Amino acid sequence: MTSREVARSPDGCQEPGEEASDAPADEVAGAYELAGAYELAGAYELHVNGTVRTVEDAWLGESLLYVLRERLGLSGAKNACEQGECGSCSVLLDDVVVCACCVLAVDAIGSHVETVEGVTERGVAADVQAALLAAGGVQCGFCTPGFVVAVYDLLRRRPDAGELEVREALSGNLCRCTGYGRILEAVRTVQEERSGAAV
């Protein structure tokens, strides 16, 4: 092959995995501006872990995960994929577990956001955290904050969930270190402890 080309995909994304095109550079830049990613959102407020936080000079395209981690200093929610596939960024948005990477920060205006830091501070998942540690469910720990949020949420909704239901409920949280055995054991431990305490 001898053809010369400027390798660039239609949106200017010169990343692998995309076919090259020869769209001129200025056209590409124009398309980019149209996408709105660079527009400033103006200052806005987010309700995070029970307090009102002001976000300034943010771009409109920033995810809730980015704003939490990089603008509000809450790095508990992790960024293993930023594609909604791993659950490491799990937070509660109006009490529902969401992937913070898939929520625009500005869409969270007016909602209550709770991160693993908030869950920790309220102490509502202390037994989940302790059980994860005791069972050996934490290795590198990158998945752990996401699991803490997901297990906390599962067990308050479905305290008696059977094994298959637990597995299904947690199947959106990837862990590459543990093979899940110790994590699932921790869930069982919490279920037993809580049901024992309830009797």
Partner 1 sequence: MPRSSAPTVTRPRAGARLGAGVGADAARPDGVPKARGEFAFSSDLWMDGMLWGKTLRSPHVSARIVAVDPSPALAIPGVRAVVTAADVPGRPTYGLEVPDQPVFASEVVRYHGEPVAAVAADHPEAARAAARAIEVVYEPLEPVVDAERALEAPPLHPDGNLFRHLVIRHGDLEATGDVVVEGSYVVGMQDQAFMGPESGLAVPAEDGGIDLYVATQWLHVDRDQIAESLGMPPERVRLHLAGVGGAFGGREDVSLQIHLCLLALGTGRPVKMVYSRDESFFGHVHRHPAKMWFRHHATRGGDLVKVEARIVLDGGAYLSSSNAVVSNAACFAPGPYRVPNALIDAYAVRTNNPPCGAMRGFGAVQVCYGHEAQMDKLAAALGMDPVELRLRNALERFDRLVTGQVLTGAVPVRECIRAAMAHPLPPAPSPLDPPMARPGGAGLTADHADVRRGVGVAVSVKNVAYSEGFDDYATARVRLEVGVGGEPVATVVAATAEVGQGFVTLAQQIVREELGVAGVLLAPAGTTDIGSAGSSSASRQTWMSGGAIQLACAAIRRQLIARAAASWGCAESSLEWDAAEVVHEGTGERLGLAALLAHGAVEAEHEYHHRPTVPLDADGQGDAHLSVMVAAHRAVVDVDPGLGLVKVVQVATGQDVGRALNPTQVTGQIEGGIAQGIGLAVMEEIVLDEGRVKNPSFTDYLVPTTLDMPAVAATFVEEPEPDAPYGAKGVGEPPAISSGPAVLAAIRDATGMALTRAPVRPEDIALAGAAPLSVASGQPR
Q: Which residues bind ligand FES (CB under 6 A)?
A: 79-89, 99, 101, 138-143, 175-178
Residue 99's binding partner among ligand FES, partner 1, none (Cβ under 5 to 8 angstroms by kind) is: ligand FES
Minimum distance of partner 1 from residue 178's CB (angstroms): 5
Q: Which of 167, 188, 192, 193 binds partner 1 (CB under 8 A)?
A: 167
* Interatomic CA distance for residues 160 and 195, integer angstroms: 8
| CA proximity to 72, closest of 93, 55, 59 | 55
SS3 91: strand
Minimum distance of partner 1 from residue 30's CB (angstroms): 12
Exposure of 137 by Cβ count < 10 A (0-12 exposed, 13-18 middle, 19+ buried)?
buried
Q: Which of 64, 103, 184, 190 binds partner 1 (CB under 8 A)?
A: 184
Q: Does 36 bind partner 1 (CB under 8 A)?
A: no
φ, ψ for residue 182, nearest 5 deg: -70, -30
Q: Which of 72, 108, 143, 190 binds partner 1 (CB under 8 A)?
A: 143
| Window 46-85: residues binding partner 1 (CB under 8 A) | 59, 61, 66, 69-70, 73, 75-83, 85
Q: Which of 4, 52, 160, 197 binds partner 1 (CB under 8 A)?
A: 4
Minimum distance of ligand FES from residue 195's CB (angstroms): 26
Minimum distance of partner 1 from residue 15's CB (angstroms): 6
Minimum distance of partner 1 from residue 134's CB (angstroms): 8
Which single residue is written with the structure tokens 């997901």? 150
Please give the angle made by the CA atoms of 54, 83 and 92, to the nearest 5 degrees: 45
Q: Which of 10, 13, 95, 159 binds partner 1 (CB under 8 A)?
A: 13
Distances (CA, A) of 31 to 7, 26, 28, 47, 135: 17, 9, 5, 33, 51
Q: Which helix (H) or strand (E) holds 45?
A: strand 44-48
